[in-house]
A and B are shown apart, each in its own frame.
Chain A
């Protein structure tokens, strides 16, 4: 199903915003203005934007850990000011400044994050089960190629298919997990081949093409809401930089080749999308400039909000009060 012009405009805008958010995080970690680590999404922000922009308000959205979920945050309309305030330990952070990267917006049905890659393969079963019982809502669960090494991935696919749960298994395959390449980790190049054993419909798409991703996810969502069960969507993407800022960029024990990385840069999703919206006259150069200008202003406002928020240092008593429901 082809996208309309308004849909394409929205996707394009969200992609530019997500790209700006990722660059903001990169700049901040380099300047020591971010807590903990950052796993850059540079050159790979399209998949998250395409997967999240047209979900329903009641759909559950589990973001991928890469770029700390910013592509999904952009598509979902999350308050990135509160997101950044969380990543900087501020009182206006979405979790009161105590979570670092474990950000959460339950009101947006983005329940949270974990440092354990693949943690979501456990609750996704219940997310799907609950959505099926309530009706007219579904789950988009994103994660990377590496995460499908976890045994829980297979339990999740088994339950999802047995019970025809409304889940999209959305895999961002960037061919890497820290220093391991896909061929080190998986016997087959397509992670979606795993779905075959469960009889789950699976598609492989270009994760650099924000429009293709959105079209595919819209169709998979309709399939799920029609009671036909899960779909596996594998978005092929790439990793331009090191796993997380400061870690050497290796494949096994050898540095990744510069020429290869240069080749990857030609697949920049923002450049690809710009070419297309201009060619198809969805946007003019002037409108694009305006989108960039607005994204810049949005980032400035986000940083200002986070930076002006006070450091969160509640007392032990206040923290203890947050452990249990009263």
Chain B
């Protein structure tokens, strides 16, 4: 077996763009400054595909998104890059009120295949708007899928799946994982949307985490090894949510901690907790703990490290449910 090459996460995303654009003429990218690139995920693409398929727009999120929205109806398969994922909010009404609900309300007659993407996450100390993880805001609306990779392998596979999916898919990625390296097969492959993965097996507690928080979960699991055996589940997709994989793990562990880099209230962590109580109440040996951002706009300055989920907070929650 040949050794699998390693790539940084950002290059894994780019490889998915490149391969899918080579594979399918209808795929194109639209965004601000993507030819030059603010983040390296689009580096070199304009040289290969030209400005018809790497489309720079004025500083106008609605027009930029509109390029994708309308073109998708006309048979193209756009990828819209919002640079920072939070900037999607400038186009929130066409995305959440129209795109997501469009197919259903018009009699399920057409599809809107497109990918909405952007970087996000605590770590740059810039404050709420740049850091904001938007997965929960989007995931509340039926008709749009939402995912976020934790590893370079998943980044390429999820992006490929998102581009090939006939639904609108929001693919957000965390800046704290951008340069993480990991094995990425060269050939195109898909990580299916809506399928979680057990990324570390353990017997005492189920720890759900993804994106940058997946790394924090691994740090905690390593630290507790020998004392508490932690099973880590990466949901990978927030909507649709794969609750079965979590329930199956709980049959073994009976204890659940969910990490979500988002506000405590109405988060994916809340959703998972609710579904587990609905469908797996009898599996639980302890209350469910959520490790989230308290209901505070994420401050910049020196406050991110303790306001956002972090290894200490995760460890405390794990210890708490394992008492």
Binding site for A on B (CB under 8 A): 32-33, 35-38, 46-47, 56-63, 84, 86-87, 89-90, 124-127, 129-130, 294-297, 299-303, 306-307
Contacts and interface: CB of A to CB of B under 8 A. Distances in A.
A287 interface: no
Nearest to A115: B129
13 contacts: A35-B300, A36-B124, A37-B126, A86-B301, A89-B301, A99-B300, A100-B126, A115-B126, A115-B130, A150-B61, A151-B60, A185-B58, A252-B46
A255 B260 CA distance: 40
Contacts of B38: 178, 247
Contacts of B300: 35-36, 89, 98-102
Nearest to B47: A253
Contacts of A115: 84, 86, 126-127, 129-130
Given A99-B300, A146-B59, A253-B46, 17 more contacts: A89-B300, A98-B301, A146-B58, A151-B62, A151-B63, A177-B33, A179-B33, A179-B35, A251-B36, A252-B56, A312-B302, A312-B303, A313-B306, A319-B299, A320-B294, A322-B296, A323-B295
Contacts of B60: 149-151
A147 B294 contact: no
Most buried by A among B56, B89, B294, B302: B302
Interface of A: 35-37, 86, 89, 93, 97-102, 114-118, 146-147, 149-151, 177-180, 184-186, 247-248, 250-253, 311-314, 316, 319-320, 322-323
Main secondary structure of the interface of B (DSSP, over half): loop
Contacts, number: 129
A35 B61 CA distance: 27
Given A89-B302, A149-B60, A316-B307, A180 B33 contact: yes
B90 to A, nearest CB: 7
Contacts of B84: 115
B45 to A, nearest CB: 9
Contacts of B33: 177-180
A86 B46 CA distance: 39
Most buried by B among A93, A99, A147, A177: A99
A101 B59 contact: no
Nearest to B129: A115
A179 to B, nearest CB: 3
Contacts of A319: 294, 296, 299, 303, 307
